[in-house]
Structure 1
Amino acid sequence: MRKVLTAFFSMIILLAFSSGNVFAANEEDTTVAENIIESAEKYIGTPYGGEFDCSGYVYKVFSENGIELPRSSSSQYKHGESVEKENLQKGDLVFFNTTGSGISHVGIYIGDNKFIHSASSIGVSISKLNDPYYWGKRYVGAAKVL
């Protein structure tokens, strides 16, 4: 009985310390994500193509925060760890097929079912991920790069 209790309390202590480390890592990821979103928002209104296209925009924002990404949207899609739509976190990359031939657009998930991106029609802006008229139909997947 004494061995069982010792093992039980050892597991409790181990779990308490390991969950603290997980919390610290998640807190750090949240701070990085917030910094990325802040960097991304400063470009709202920047025209598409002048300074960058969609993947160039994502590349620049992440680079400003010390995170290296590939340059193209299809390469960025392959770079991260796949994330289910219902598990999206701020800072995740969201990908779309706008041309009918695979990944052709990327944006940064900012929470509340919204993403920020450089759209060819209006430049850097915020859109709804599940927009039934355009983005919702073209959503392909997401990737975690943080």
Structure 2
Amino acid sequence: MNTKKLIASVLFIGFCLVSQAQTTKKNEQDNLAKEYFSQIMGVAVNATTNTKLYQFVYDWLGTPYRLGGDSKRGIDCSKFSLAVYENVFNTTIGFNSRNQYANVTPINKKDLQPGDLVFFKIRSKSITHVGVYLGDDKFAHASSSKGVMVSNLNEAYWKRYYYNGGRPKSEENRTMVADASMLNTDK
């Protein structure tokens, strides 16, 4: 009886040690990933809270821009933000930048958090561009000239055309539009 208890205790302690080692290893990997993405994207380490978000963006960096595109062969800004939300946050936000804006709660620029959306009105009275906020005033987007990239909201160009930030509404408060005339309207 005592031998069984001793074996069970040893096995339990061993299991706890292995579990602790795996947790420590995962934390070390997460910290390395955060440091790596911080350097690559120019975002402060303390702002890199969602490693899955940064990994997804990193995997798409350099993908060429293609209006209406939705693959690594080419993608536009709204399809990129949609892909981020579907793959990182497991939710759908709409198919173009104006529809996406209709499905967010507006957020002040100073209150943006990684994963929030940032919207722009570029030479238009309507929203024409969208990106995904990463932290530290950086956002990922599909630029029509350079493809998927990371930019700074404080650059003169983006400051000039910045419209608003937004955080997706809960599922029950969404107003998804399936009107085909609204598709592929991003510049």
The TM-score range, normalised by the shorter chain, is 0.7 to 0.9
Q: What displacement does 1:32 show?
A: 8.4
**Residue segments in structure 1 that go unaligned for 5+ positions in a row:** 1-29
| Aligned: 1:60 with 2:83 | yes
**Residue segments in structure 2 that go unaligned for 5+ positions in a row:** 1-46, 67-72, 170-187
* Aligned equivalents of 1:56, 1:144: Cα separation in 2: 17
* Aligned equivalents of 1:51, 1:87: Cα separation in 2: 31
Residue in 1 that maps onto 2:179: none
Summarize the alignment of residues 98-137 of structure 1 with structure 2, pairs less than 5 Å apart: 98-132=122-156, 134-137=157-160
Q: TM-score, normalised by structure 2?
A: 0.58
| Aligned length, in residue pairs | 116
Q: Which of 157, 162, 165 is equivalent to 1:139?
A: 162
* Aligned equivalents of 2:167, 2:50: Cα separation in 1: 11
Which protein is bigger by CA-based radius of gyration? 2
Residues 106 and 59 of structure 1, relative CA distance in 2, 3 Å threshold: same
Residue in 1 that maps onto 2:42: none
Residues 130 and 31 of structure 1, relative CA distance in 2, 3 Å threshold: closer
SS at match of 1:108: strand
* Aligned equivalents of 2:146, 2:48: Cα separation in 1: 29
CA RMSD of aligned residues (A): 2.0
Identity %: 35
Q: Deviations over 1:101-133 (max 9, x none)?
A: 31000000001111010000000001110211x
SS at match of 1:42: helix
**Greater RCO, CA 8 A, separation 6+:** 1
